[in-house]
Structure 1
Amino acid sequence: MTNPLLSSPLDFIDYAAIKAEHIVPALTQLLEENKALIEQVAAEPAPLTWESFVERLDIASTPLWRAWHVVNHLNAVVNTSELRAAYNEILPKITEYSTWLGLNKDLYQHYKALKDSAEYATLTPTRQRIIDLALRDFKLSGVELEGEDKTRYAQISEQLANISQKFSENALDAVDNWAYFVESRDELVGIPEDTLTAAAEAAKAEGKTGYKFTLKMPSYLPVMQYAQNSALREIMYRGYSTIASEQGDTRFDNSSNIEQLLALRQEESALLGYKNFADMQLETRMADNAAQVIAFLRDLANKAKPFAQKDVAELKTFAREHLGMAELNPWDYAYVSEQLRQNKYAYSDEEIKQYLPEDTVLTGFFAIIKKLFNVDFTPINASVWHKDVTAYAVQDQGDTIGYIYFDLYARAGKQSGAWVGSERSRHVYGETTVTPTVYLTCNFTPPTGNKPALLSPDDLITLFHESGHALHALLSEVRDPAASPFSSVEWDAIELPSQFMENFTWEWPVIEQLTRHWETNESLPKALYEKMLAAKNYQSGMQTVRQIEFALFDMLIHQSVNPLSIQQVLEILHQVRQEVAVVIPPSWNRFPHNFSHLFAGGYGAGYYSYKWAEVLSADAYSLFEENKLADGSTLNSAIGALFRKAILAVGGSVPAAEFFKNFRGRDPQPDALLRHSGMLDA
């Protein structure tokens, strides 16, 4: 039997052929082969050359990490009990191997010898940076630990990986196992027709009558925004707010996982000589220390909170005067916000959705990428993991420079949210070029009946956001994978291209290309666009303080030097809310239990990066604003070419502060972010 996970890194993966039983044999074989080669290389006399050491190991390890990326991706998008079992069987071996690599003193000594050799001065700045970062990362991986500390570090690494995976599983299972059925349509007044159609089809698929609602966004969000039935909104809100907690289905309670993860992270950072986990994580970031991050967040909160308070006051007044609601419960805010927006700006997201069918959006999207960065997306026939997935070659003047898979719809067995993952990074050696390949994953509402998939305005922003991550990988011109964007761009700058791309979704010349009514084929009326634009900063104050709440909570729990109980974690969150929030959830709200970014996604002590990078991205976009075309469009190909050359092409080959300055001509300034958010004057 041919194992598709063992195919050459230069060939396409046959996703449709991958079965759960392929995972453990393939990865076990690749792990053994890599370990044997590393032991052989490590035993050779120093100093080795770049080609005989770094490049040799990069080439040899590509099949292993590519196979693992594939398996990791499938575990997130087509999760089955069989695949999960195989994933959990191989995960400890992958973790053990990664830890063994980080603790390998012989490899560390080879890097030190290469750094001290005469060859180092002759290497490109990118390769010098790779060596320097490798030495830093070895220290952060515990290579200088000895004896019991070294053993304990390896144990911690394995435990962290396993508990993070369990956190993800609990969150996924809690969502997949939650449903609420409604028999009478009378209880569903206000909910959009396509949401009701999907809910009726979901109930029918289970052999039931009526309507099935779930906690997946295409089902949950329209209920919260449009349902007139407050009792239904409360049921949905409580379900979502208690995912994977003792307040919900206790089979999936993440309380102990949060406690264990925080304790292990603190123990790990102490072993490596850091005061706390936050200090350790910031070793690899643009930000200097936790105090700087916290000061940045609190300064932003001070600027945003007056606007947020105005937002809430306006909501309460509207609810009282127009909806007869004397007070607002947490499950009322999304509904009243949508009612106020429709009253204030005379349009609804549902109205806009009718002009955003997926095929038109993607056609326009590809045209915009072509205009900005001079690359084409050409559909290709490729083996995929689900019938809804599409694949494209990314071409630069006819030459294929990468590949991208789009997986856009929500479904059972797929993690919620949106993200970009990498199957493989660009690597050029000898006569060989390995092209970058990425996955762009979203959770949009799928087509129903004769109706195509329709994107909401938020979905459109999400698509452009994730495309920025994808383009970062696809347009990288870095030859060495250790300097690829996802390998070595500082975490608090990785959101720069993604948040930058969001800005274009507010430009009329862009919107014109993205919109067509799915039934009438009419373009989006300019008057409707003007209403959208007028509402652009609607509740931007509330949204900003919400993000600051997440980020400040993250930094504070990871600054603790003592293990925190779940009660203490929730108390810190409560204190943060008292400081920066304008909407305080009920005491039974268990937001952290489903906060996968922090506890299963690599954003621990890094969630602030969204706001940090937003300063960078807004300032970068302001250069396009300063160089508009004659028709007022920001789609300036010359500035797009500069952005591609200065930021996307360099990947992680230079520090983020340097590539930003190369593009903008100066250090970043926060004015553009405040201006874009309508928060320059309180």
Structure 2
Amino acid sequence: MNPELTQWTGPEGLPRFDLINDADFAPDFEAELAAAEAAIEAIAANPEAPSFENTVAALETVEDRLNRLLSIFYNLSGVDSNPARQELQRKFAPVLADYGSRVNMDPRLYARVAAVWEQADSLAPEDRRITELTLRNLKRAGAGLTGEARDRMAQISARRAVLTTQFSQNVLTDERDYVLPIADDRLAGLPDWLVRSMRAAAKERGLDGQIVTLNRSLIVPFLEYSEDRALREVAFKAWTARGSGQGAGGEATDNLPLIAEILALRNERARLLGYPDYAAYRLEPEMAGTAERVEDLLMQVWEPATRRAAEDQEKLTAMLRDDGVNGALEPWDWRFYAEKLRAREHDFDAAVVKPYLTLDAMLGAVFDVAHRLFGLEFQPFTAPLWAPDVRAWRVTRGGKLMAIFVGDYFARPTKRSGAWCSTLQGQHKIGEGQRPIVVNVCNFTPPEEPGAPAFLSWDDARTLFHEFGHATHHILSDVTWPSISGTSVALDFVELPSQLYEHWLEQPQVLDAHARHYETGEPLPADLRDRLLAAGKADAGFGTTEYLESALVDLAFHRGAPATDAMAKQAAVLDALNAPPAIPMRHATPHFAHVFSGEGYASGYYSYMWSEVMDADAFAAFEETGDIFDPETARRLEQTILSKGGSSPADELWIAFRERMPGVDALLRGRGLI
């Protein structure tokens, strides 16, 4: 047994990652799982009459040690995967699924929680809320099923865990193994900063010259700037082939058979629980409630988005013709000509802005906004984390320690793609209480040499703000129970804090203070700043359309009978929408990790836009005061939303902040679509 997996002894209560070996996980996992099972059995078999304290409250802490171990393991599996950890993931997945099924479908626990719920009127508000949610979760897990239906539900859970784990590993393999060497005579159009990043990527892999990988911070700017149309096509097709069996891993990483089985199992699960399909099951506890309401929102935005995209496509096609190409505008052309159009219409060159957008400068902006809104202060400290470039900060307010914040910002071959926020431990007030340890993960291009500045694109800076918005939800959480702390809210409410935080990046007073040239310290010139902000909405038709395609395909996958051929279903949905061929889905089905690497965003990718309707209106609350840092509005935001976690239904939290529900117009204005 390695005590460091459950009794963390590092600085500020962090785990000592330097004392953890892969060989430690399996035996410790088995021991902690057995201990958790024994503790849950004691709750289920308790001869005393069910009470809130001996049933619902007891369940809140029964898996603490197991969860601490798993938080370390799954964090490492995402940020620094290796064959040993991938094998352990495959081993743990069905075991955890079986354990979860037995616990969540235990009729004794179900009966005890139901008995506590009968006394709900006598409970304190938070106690009543977690009792309600615990009972709902048990019902939705199948605790009310019996006989063959019960057995089948357990089998479905175990199999889904295996399939989603394999899906994630297949995508990671394709991303990790793909390399496109770019010869010196094929660098036309690429800015110096991008070529340097491509050479750094090659050096990291022990290669000479420069390469393109499937890291978004490399491949997107390559598609934006490379004048070599043939190379853009090769790179784009590799990027979109991940998980299709046509990627770097070949048939061994083909996710399409996995997807068909995942969809079938989800549908079967929903029908066992009495729902007509998985979308009805999945959306029932969310703010949207039904697939019809989701589709209504998405289609309200589809028409203005595709209208703007069609206007832009005409301009881009004319530019393609000027370059002597008579064929259609292809997906690998769009970003290249959109960048040229942006530069022409807004007199803007993104490369000129890069020297002002270093990671350290933008972190300064992120922390300054948090300080001005919520009084938070950040002090860096040294700790043995999982990679040398991972950083940690103490987060305080008025001298009180609020949280520990960890940032892992640079791409590495062993890290899965994308950006996310997670916790090593969440906030609660049981006993002496527990402060959150929050982790933000990104995949920015690392600096050429250690100690050199890391330059961000505008999209990278937006991602940095987005993920820190999630972090504030954890840092400011102030509830008693772990199950409702931080981001434990409705799926279509969870993106509100993150997307709201992005708005402050676009404010002139924030950019003027923090976007400074890495060599001279001079602020971003006002005219360049204004052109940057105007150019940021220049391709809104494309960005909104590619997102909506993914959201609508996700929704269609989970309504009605499950698709046996996912790619045929995807094509049918896009055809019915009359989707522009030059704008493919943001996440093509074979690597749509939001939907198929777990249950998190299945039938729920729409939630980014549902939350955006609210975030646009929430920022308007600050603007209406004449002060984007208005203290009273910030205090109300914290007290009604950020500190509350899932202690009340999402619509009640929103109404407490804004006193009305929002409409779609603020979203359309924010995206520049009206």
Q: Deviations over 1:211-262 (max 9, x none)?
A: 2221111221121011111111111011111112133322211111111111
**Alpha-carbon separation, structure 2, partners of 1:205 and 1:369:** 34
How far apart are 1:573 and its partner, in Å?
Answer: 4.2
Displacement after TM superposition at 1:404 (Å): 1.4
Report the equivalent of 2:517.
517
Which residue is equivalent to 1:319? Answer: 320
Equivalences for 1:29-108 in 2 at 5 Å?
Answer: 29-108=31-110
Q: Is 1:652 matched up with 2:646?
A: yes
Alpha-carbon contact 2:500-2:615 (below 8 Å) kept: yes
SS of the residue corresponding to residue 409 of structure 2 reads: strand
Partner Cα distance (1:208, 1:300) in 2: 45
| Residue number in structure 2 paired with 1:387 | 388
For residues 188-587 of structure 1, what are the structure 2 equivalents within 5 Å? 188-248=187-247, 249-321=250-322, 323-326=323-326, 327-430=328-431, 432-449=432-449, 451-487=452-488, 489-576=489-576, 578-581=577-580, 583=582, 585=584
Displacement of 1:16 in angstroms is 2.4
- Is 513-522 or 132-141 further displaced after alignment? 513-522
CA distance in 2, matches of 1:299, 1:669: 11
Q: Summarize the Cα distance change of 1:562–1:390 in structure 2 as closer, same or farther, 3 Å threshold.
A: closer
> 1:161 is matched by which residue type in structure 2?
A
The alignment partner of 1:528 has SS state of helix
Deviations along 1:464-508, whole A, 9 cap, x unmatched? 111111111110111111211333x11011110011111111110
What's the C-alpha RMSD, in Å, of the aligned pairs? 1.9
Is this contact kept in 2: 1:46–1:110, CA < 8 A?
no
Three-state SS of the structure 2 residue aligned to 1:428 is: coil
Structure 2 runs not aligned, ≥5 long: none
Partner of 2:664: 670
Q: What SS does the corresponding residue of 2:356 show, helix, strand or coil?
A: coil
Return closer, same or farther for 1:571/1:202 CA change in 2, 3 Å cut-off.
closer
- Residue pair 1:278, 1:290 contacting (<8 A) in 2 also: yes
Partner of 2:24: 22
* Structure 1 residue 446 displacement after superposition: 0.7
2: distance between equivalents of 1:276 and 1:495?
25
User: Offset of 1:441 from its aligned partner?
Assistant: 0.4
Q: Is the 8 A contact 2:348 2:535 kept in 1?
A: no
- Distance in 1, Cα, partners of 2:49 & 2:15: 37
Total equivalences in the alignment? 667
SS in structure 2 of the partner of residue 284 of structure 1: coil
Change (3 A) 1:303 1:333: closer
Go from structure 1 to structure 2 and tell me whether the alpha carbon gap of 1:379 and 1:386 turns closer, same or farther (over 3 Å shift): same
Whether contact under 8 Å (1:464, 1:498) holds in the other structure is yes
**Offset of residue 679 of structure 1:** 2.2
CA contact (8 A) 1:266 1:563 kept: no
| Gap change, CA 1:624 and 1:584, over 3 Å in 2 | closer
* Equivalent position to 1:622, from 605, 620, 623: 620
Q: 1:291 to 1:200 in 2, by over 3 A?
A: same
Task: Determine if contact 1:549/1:581 at 8 Å carries over to the other structure.
Answer: no
Partner SS for 1:543: helix
- Using the alignment, how far apart are the partners of 1:206 and 1:410 within structure 2? 12
Preserved contact between residue 176 and residue 412 of structure 1 (Cα < 8 Å)? yes
Q: Report the secondary structure of 2:62's partner residue.
A: helix
Per-residue CA deviations over 1:328-382 (Å, capped at 9, x if unaligned) read: 2221111111111111112222211110112222123211110011111221222
Indicate how the Cα distance of structure 1 residues 346 and 653 shifts in structure 2: closer, same or farther if over 3 A, else same: same
Distance apart, 1:65 and its partner CA: 1.4
Verify the 8 A CA contact 2:478 2:643 in the aligned structure 1. Answer: yes
Give how far 1:46 is off.
5.0
- Does the aligned pair in 1 maintain the 2:6–2:68 contact within 8 Å? no
Deviates more, 1:603-612 or 1:213-222: 213-222
How far apart are residue 34 of structure 1 and its match? 0.9
Q: Secondary structure at the match of 2:487?
A: helix
AA aligned to 1:675 is R
Question: 1:96: Cα distance to partner?
Answer: 1.4
Displacement after TM superposition at 1:567 (Å): 4.4
SS in structure 1 at match of 2:395? strand
Distance 1:27 1:582 in 2: 48
Q: Alpha carbons of 1:597 and 1:590: their partners in 2 closer, same or farther (altered >3 Å)?
A: closer
Instruction: Answer yes or no: is the 8 Å Cα contact 2:17–2:385 preserved in 1.
Output: yes
| Residue 599 in structure 1 maps to residue 596 in structure 2 | yes
129-138 or 359-368, which moves further after superposition?
A: 359-368
Q: Report the CA distance shift for 1:582/1:533 in structure 2 as closer, same or farther (over 3 A).
A: farther
Identity of aligned residues (%): 33
Match of 2:115 in 1: 113
- 1:166-185 equivalent positions in 2, closer than 5 A: 166-183=166-183, 185=184
1:669 alignment partner, SS class? coil
Amino acid at match of 1:88: R
TM-score for the superposition, normalised by structure 1: 0.94
CA distance 1:437–1:380, change in 2 (3 Å): same
- SS of the equivalent of 2:245 reads coil
Do the aligned residues in 1 keep the contact of 2:473 with 2:497 (CA within 8 Å)?
Answer: yes
1:208, distance to aligned residue in structure 2 (A): 4.1
TM-score normalized by the length of structure 2? 0.95
- Name the aligned partner's letter for residue 310 of structure 1: E
How far apart are the structure 2 equivalents of 1:107 and 1:174?
A: 43
Alpha-carbon displacement from aligned partner over 1:305-349 (angstroms, at most 9, x marks no partner) = 22221122222233334x444442221111111111111112222
Q: 1:203 to 1:497 in 2, by over 3 A?
A: closer
Contact 1:619 1:670 in 2 (8 A): no
- CA 1:72–1:208 in 2, change beyond 3 Å: closer, same or farther? closer
Gaps of 5+ in 1: none
Shift of 1:389: 0.6
